[in-house]
């Protein structure tokens, strides 16, 4: 009975959060100084044409009625028509989101693979040279603008050294070779056995993912260091060392096991931030993902596309937070 009550409360919280997200996006769309009617008919349209378009869009109805209609359409997957592509927004998002997913996943793997060991090293050698290096890397990661880092990376590793591929997601000669299955080119190329396409796609993704992942490294390393410092000062660590347990076992088994629980939330939030925060990275590297789609829609005053992409980003945050909460309960028996 308690499980049922907890589940119903959990679902109610999710529904309330999503409703709040819809309310925020709806009212933002109404207060921005952009007239969606003028975006459709143009500023030279006659008054009767303007009023007709306004009526067809439902903008002549009371605000709460418009919101109810908006919620109903969103729940059925109808985000409206994009003014830029002249296609349903949901189709555009389904087309561009896998590119952002690929980039953010790659960047998160880099962040976890480098950030956790760096954070542990900073905690173990606190105030010594490894810790100073970790602090400097974190400071640079939080301070350097990502667009500047991307431009410098393109200049050095693509323009001068030629170690990676240039902007874009795939070379022109490799386009339309692999049939889209998942939308993630690396996976689709591997499934199709097209290893030339795979290598080309990897050469394109490695630099933007590394640039984006650097900020994930800085965040995860800083949080890991903080968590490890707290654990290494606990009494059970002192007792383990007093029993003659090896330092490696104390750090990598006992301390890291307790750090793993809060780290799940840190990694999940980092992943969600990369999914929605890749706008500048995608712009610099001409990466055809959700961030670039959102930027193009904003510049073109395409509010249907802007609101649709914003809802998807918000839904990703809600979903990732829920997933981290579930993993937290699995990893930590006390949370049950």
Segments in the chain below pLDDT 70: 1-10, 31-36, 38-43, 57, 276-277, 331-336
pLDDT of residue 277: 61
DSSP 8-state secondary structure symbol assigned to residue 180? P
Domains and CATH numbers, the chain: 2-75 (no CATH), 89-335 (1.10.3720.10)
pTM of the model: 0.81
pLDDT of residue 55: 74
pLDDT of residue 206: 92
Tens of pLDDT, residues 88-102: 889 999 888 888 888
Tell me the C-alpha distance between 70 and 207, whole Å. Answer: 39
pLDDT of residue 113: 92
Tell me the C-alpha distance between 159 and 260, whole Å. Answer: 40
Tell the residue number behind the tokens 């439902």, with chain if given. 58
Output b/e per residue, 195-219; b: 16+ Cβ within 10 A. Answer: eebbebbbbbbbbbbbbbbbbbbbb
pLDDT of residue 183: 84
pLDDT of residue 109: 92
pLDDT of residue 281: 84
């Amino acid at each position: 009975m308690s499980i049922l009550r907890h589940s119903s409360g959990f679902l109610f919280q999710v529904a309330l959060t999503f409703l709040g997200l819809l309310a925020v996006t709806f009212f933002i769309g109404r207060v921005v100084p952009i007239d969606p009617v003028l975006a459709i008919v143009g500023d030279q349209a006659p008054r009767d044409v303007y009023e007709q378009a306004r009526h067809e869009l439902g903008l002549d109805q009371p605000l709460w009625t418009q919101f109810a209609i908006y919620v109903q359409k969103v729940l059925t997957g109808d985000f409206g028509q994009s003014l830029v592509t002249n296609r349903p927004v949901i189709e555009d998002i389904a087309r561009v989101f896998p590119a952002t997913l690929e980039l953010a996943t790659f960047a998160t793997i880099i962040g976890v693979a480098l950030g956790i060991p760096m954070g542990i090293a900073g905690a173990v050698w606190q105030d010594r040279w490894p810790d100073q290096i970790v602090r400097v890397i974190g400071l640079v990661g939080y301070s350097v603008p990502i667009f500047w880092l991307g431009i410098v990376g393109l200049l050095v590793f693509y323009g001068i050294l030629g170690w990676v591929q240039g902007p874009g997601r795939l070379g022109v000669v490799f386009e339309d070779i692999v049939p889209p299955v998942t939308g993630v080119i690396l996976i689709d190329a591997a499934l199709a056995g097209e290893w030339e396409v795979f290598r080309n796609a990897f050469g394109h993704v490695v630099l933007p993912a590394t640039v984006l992942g650097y900020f994930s490294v800085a965040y995860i390393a800083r949080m890991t260091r903080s968590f490890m410092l707290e654990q290494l000062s606990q009494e059970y660590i002192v007792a383990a060392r007093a029993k003659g347990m090896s330092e490696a076992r104390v750090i990598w088994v006992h301390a890291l096991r307790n750090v793993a629980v809060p780290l799940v939330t840190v990694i999940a939030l980092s992943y969600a931030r990369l999914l929605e925060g890749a706008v500048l990275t995608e712009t610099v590297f001409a990466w055809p993902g959700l961030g670039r789609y959102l930027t193009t829609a904003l510049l073109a005053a395409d509010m249907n596309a802007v609101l649709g992409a914003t809802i998807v980003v918000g839904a990703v945050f809600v979903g990732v937070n829920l997933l981290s909460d579930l993993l937290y309960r699995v990893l930590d028996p006390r949370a049950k």
